[in-house]
């Protein structure tokens, strides 16, 4: 196997990353992103399973509204996504799975790369590199602010290695390019499709998160939070705010009262808690008592029990806020992530395999985080049938945190991450 593989691939990695960064797409609307990734993989020789073939559509959570989906499909068609591809994705069925079989006895190794962007307006300051170097997001209010452009790129790099070195490899490889990781909405649909059911080793990971320099990676992580996401709709009665305020039932006040109290759910002795009202919209016109309101909420907990505690308290608050203002409410679950536990026996293996890497300088055994990850659903599926799984980190300096309009990372981390997975494949799936 070529030792210079990743070094030679680096310019390509950067190009892939910047291309993806410049055209970010929100979860379940990654039509162009899926198409671009798929075309590359197809060319490499992978078997491609796109959209409805890649996921169990009824297991998707938190779909965008139909109007947004349709509008974006039209845009994708205009942009040039070929009709047969679009056909497979239509209705918010994005993402793809690429499989490779060496036809030689060996482990089934799975990788997951998430590909969706966030509803954030990317910064246009000159100090923001994507802006300075001309690959800033071309979409208003959509941005790759969580490095999934990089994750998809890493996936392409790993694929390239497998296709280029297939003769020296054994076993099977499944690469999941997952839609809608943000909000914990997409993993369940791919998991339920069965891709993980006989995977022996599963690897995923994230750029950044912990403060580690480029070249440092974490073999495992701990501390990912269980999370539960739901949408809330309040329905009251409108009325002329000047003439008849007493006839209205104010759905806005129900939402604001709920929001103010949600952040105050008591902290918990057993561990970390989180709560956020990420979006709130209410009302239709200035002089109308608001009839409708809507909130997007998520709660998290260090354990599943704490997550459940938070969800139960949140629901109690929401229902009481509705009662208080005499409006009705509905609470719709739209996403979930689980607590994840990495297999510690992978630590020494990863450390050993990465020893000869030119890119990986240091392998930390385990690093704490407090985000949420729906790769947890895939890992738990793998582990349930006896497979091993880990969620890794790839260090980079960050001037701004994830989900910030100026979020950016050092592109060198892309090569480090690809070489990490390449080293793992060489170590565990080498035929020679």
Annotated binding site for Mn(2+): 146, 148, 182, 206, 403
261 counts as binding its own copies under rule CB under 8 A: yes
Q: How far apart are CA 327 and CA 227, in angstroms?
A: 27
Cβ neighbours, 10 Å, residue 81: 21
SS3 152: helix
Minimum Å distance from CB 39 to its own copies?
A: 28
Do 216 and 395 contact (CB within 8 A), yes or no? yes
- Based on CB atoms, which residue is closest to its own copies, 299 or 382? 299
Minimum Å distance from CB 315 to its own copies?
A: 11
- Based on CB atoms, which residue is closest to its own copies, 34 or 250? 250
Minimum Å distance from CB 418 to its own copies?
A: 24
Do 271 and 301 contact (CB within 8 A), yes or no? yes
Minimum Å distance from CB 279 to its own copies?
A: 4
Binders in 393-422 for its own copies, by CB under 8 A = 401-405
- Based on CB atoms, which residue is closest to its own copies, 405 or 427? 405
Radius of gyration of the chain (CA): 23
- Based on CB atoms, which residue is closest to its own copies, 64 or 427? 64
Q: Which of 63, 225, 389, 414 binds its own copies (CB under 8 A)?
A: 225
Site string for its own copies, 286-315 (x = CB under 8 A): xxxxxx-x--xxx-x--------x------
Total residues interacting with its own copies, rule: CB under 8 A: 84
- Based on CB atoms, which residue is closest to its own copies, 372 or 423? 372
Q: How far apart are CA 177 and CA 186, in angstroms?
A: 10
Minimum Å distance from CB 82 to its own copies?
A: 29
Q: How far is CA 214 from CA 176, 396, 413, in A?
A: 25, 4, 6
**Of 193-201, 282-290, 346-354, 408-416, which part binds its own copies (CB under 8 A)?**
282-290
- Closest of 16, 3, 391, 18 to residue 217, by C-alpha: 391
Cβ neighbours, 10 Å, residue 281: 12
Minimum Å distance from CB 397 to its own copies?
A: 16
Binders in 153-182 for its own copies, by CB under 8 A = 182
- Give the position of tokens 């162009």: 32
Binders in 204-223 for its own copies, by CB under 8 A = 209
* N-terminal to C-terminal alpha carbon distance within the chain: 10
216 strand-pairing partners: 362
Burial 299-331 (b: 16+ CB within 10 A, else e): bbbbeeebbebbbebbbebbbebbeebebebeb
- Give the position of tokens 């729906």: 374
Q: How far apart are CA 244 and CA 260, in angstroms?
A: 27
Binders in 82-101 for its own copies, by CB under 8 A = none
Minimum Å distance from CB 365 to its own copies?
A: 21
Q: Which of 276, 366, 380, 383 binds its own copies (CB under 8 A)?
A: 276
Binders in 321-380 for its own copies, by CB under 8 A = 321, 323-324, 326, 335, 369-372
Q: How far apart are CA 154 and CA 169, in angstroms?
A: 19
278 counts as binding its own copies under rule CB under 8 A: yes
Site string for its own copies, 237-256 (x = CB under 8 A): xxxxxxxxxxxx-x-xx-xx
Binders in 3-42 for its own copies, by CB under 8 A = none
276 strand-pairing partners: 298
Minimum Å distance from CB 230 to its own copies?
A: 9
120 counts as binding its own copies under rule CB under 8 A: yes
- Based on CB atoms, which residue is closest to its own copies, 275 or 346? 275
Q: How far apart are CA 301 and CA 323, in angstroms?
A: 27
């Amino acid at each position: 196997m070529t030792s210079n593989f990743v070094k030679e691939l680096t310019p390509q990695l950067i190009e892939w990353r910047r291309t993806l960064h410049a055209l970010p797409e929100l979860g379940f609307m990654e039509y162009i992103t899926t198409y671009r990734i798929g075309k590359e993989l197809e060319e490499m020789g992978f078997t491609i399973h796109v959209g409805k073939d890649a996921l169990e559509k009824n297991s998707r959570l938190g779909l965008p509204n139909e109007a947004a989906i349709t509008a974006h499909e039209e845009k994708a068609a205009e942009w040039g996504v070929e009709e047969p591809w679009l056909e497979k994705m239509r209705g918010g069925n994005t993402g793809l799975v690429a499989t490779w079989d060496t036809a030689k006895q060996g482990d089934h190794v799975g990788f997951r790369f998430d590909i969706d962007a966030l509803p954030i307006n990317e910064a246009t300051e000159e100090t923001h590199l994507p802006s300075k170097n001309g690959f800033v997001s071309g979409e208003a209010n959509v941005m790759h602010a969580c490095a999934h452009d990089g994750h998809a790129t890493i996936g392409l790099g790993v694929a390239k290695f497998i296709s280029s070195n297939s003769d020296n490899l054994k076993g099977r490889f499944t690469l999941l390019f997952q839609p809608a990781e943000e909000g914990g909405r997409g993993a369940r649909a791919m998991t339920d499709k069965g891709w993980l059911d006989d995977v022996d080793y599963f690897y995923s990971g994230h750029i950044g998160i912990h403060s580690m320099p480029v070249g440092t990676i974490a073999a495992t992580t701990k501390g990912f939070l269980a999370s539960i996401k739901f949408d809330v709709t309040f329905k009251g009665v409108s009325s002329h705010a000047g003439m008849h305020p007493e006839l209205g039932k104010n759905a806005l006040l129900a939402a604001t009262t709920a929001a103010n109290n949600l952040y105050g759910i008591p902290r918990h002795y057993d561990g970390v808690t989180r709560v956020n009202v990420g979006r709130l919209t209410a009302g239709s016109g200035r002089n109308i008592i608001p009839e409708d309101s809507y909130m997007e909420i998520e709660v998290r907990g260090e354990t599943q029990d704490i997550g459940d505690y938070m969800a139960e308290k949140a629901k109690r608050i929401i229902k009481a806020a509705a009662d208080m203002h005499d409006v009705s409410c509905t609470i719709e679950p739209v996403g979930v992530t689980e607590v994840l536990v990495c297999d510690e026996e992978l630590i020494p293996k990863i450390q050993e395999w990465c020893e000869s890497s030119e890119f990986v300088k240091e392998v930390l055994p385990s690093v704490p985080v407090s985000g949420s990850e729906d790769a947890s659903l895939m890992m738990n599926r793998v582990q349930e049938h006896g497979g091993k799984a880990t969620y890794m980190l790839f260090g980079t300096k960050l001037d701004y945190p994830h989900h910030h309009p100026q979020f950016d990372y050092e592109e060198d981390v892309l090569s480090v991450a690809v070489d990490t997975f390449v080293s793992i494949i060489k170590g565990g799936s080498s035929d020679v």
